[in-house]
Amino acid sequence: MTSTTASPASARRRNGRHPGPPLAAPVLVSAAAWLVGAVVLPLAVAGSTMPDPTADPRSVAGSLTATASSAAWTAALLVLSGTMLVAAGALLSSRLVYLAPNAPGPLLAGHGAASAGVLLSLSGALTWATSVDAVREDTDVVVAVHAVAFVAGGACVVVALGVATLGLAVTTLFVARTPRALSLVGVALAVADLLAFLVVAVHQLAPLLLVCRVLSLVWLAVVCLLLPRDRGPRGTR
């Protein structure tokens, strides 16, 4: 007679609990890395955040030169932030598929977060390029590289976060295991995020990107903290 010992993960699955690390952890790390890299460091070094790429090219180049000493750290933190978003997307997709196997929301949430992470990492890589002497010596080149980094890490990331937020909000409405009001707030945030594509054409709307990004990251973190590990009975509302 032989006996087998089930792994902790297998035991949790049999008990109806989804294994894995806390969902909110990578979201919080990503948010913190982005906040320090994109906001705190530039403010501490140059007294302002990343320059507006549509401003006078010489002014933009001057601002980038002023932050060149911290650009490598900013880039590294943006890459870290993006990587954590990719991890969050994978973990979130796995949890949501477990909770709602036949719903489309899990794929939207996972792919949206992963896309946002890739775009943010791309923005970090381009930000690093602006710190290279050979790039900064040519005003046109450094402004062009910064413009792509600005769009990729701004409007594109926020739109992708909108996809992630929408997928998570719709799924939480479906499984009814989190407050309905919170899910509806997520839907509203997702719509606002998705409309961020307008910033590419109407640059005056750019300040809204910061608001949408911060609110979406806070919402994602809160929902990830509340999202259950077990399927359980669907809530009644």
- Asked whether residue 71 is assigned to any structural domain, the reply reads yes
Phi-psi domain of 52 (left: phi exceeds 0; alpha: psi -120 through 50; beta: other): beta
Q: Taking 70 as the threshold, does the pLDDT of residue 40 lie above it?
A: yes
- Asked whether residue 103 is assigned to any structural domain, the reply reads yes
Residues 48, 42 contacting (CB under 8 angstroms): yes
- Asked whether residue 148 is assigned to any structural domain, the reply reads yes
- Asked whether residue 3 is assigned to any structural domain, the reply reads no
Pick from 110, 123, 189, 131: which is nearest to 155 by CA? 123
Residues 26, 82 contacting (CB under 8 angstroms): no
> What pLDDT is stored for residue 209 in this prediction?
92
Range of the domain at 66: 21-226
- Asked whether residue 194 is assigned to any structural domain, the reply reads yes
- Asked whether residue 1 is assigned to any structural domain, the reply reads no
What is the distance between the alpha carbons of residues 104 and 100, in angstroms, rounded to a whole number?
9
Reported as a single tens digit per residue, the pLDDT across 166-192 is 999 999 998 888 899 999 999 999 999
- Asked whether residue 25 is assigned to any structural domain, the reply reads yes
Q: What b-and-e string marks burial along 173-199, b requiring 16 or more CB atoms within 10 Å of the CB?
A: bbbebbeeeebebbbebbebbbebeeb
Question: pLDDT-based confidence at 136, cuts 50/70/90?
Answer: confident
Q: Taking 90 as the threshold, does the pLDDT of residue 222 lie above it?
A: yes
Q: How many domains does the chain have?
A: 1
Whole-prediction pTM value?
A: 0.85
Q: Taking 80 as the threshold, does the pLDDT of residue 122 lie above it?
A: yes
Residues facing 230 on adjacent strands: 17
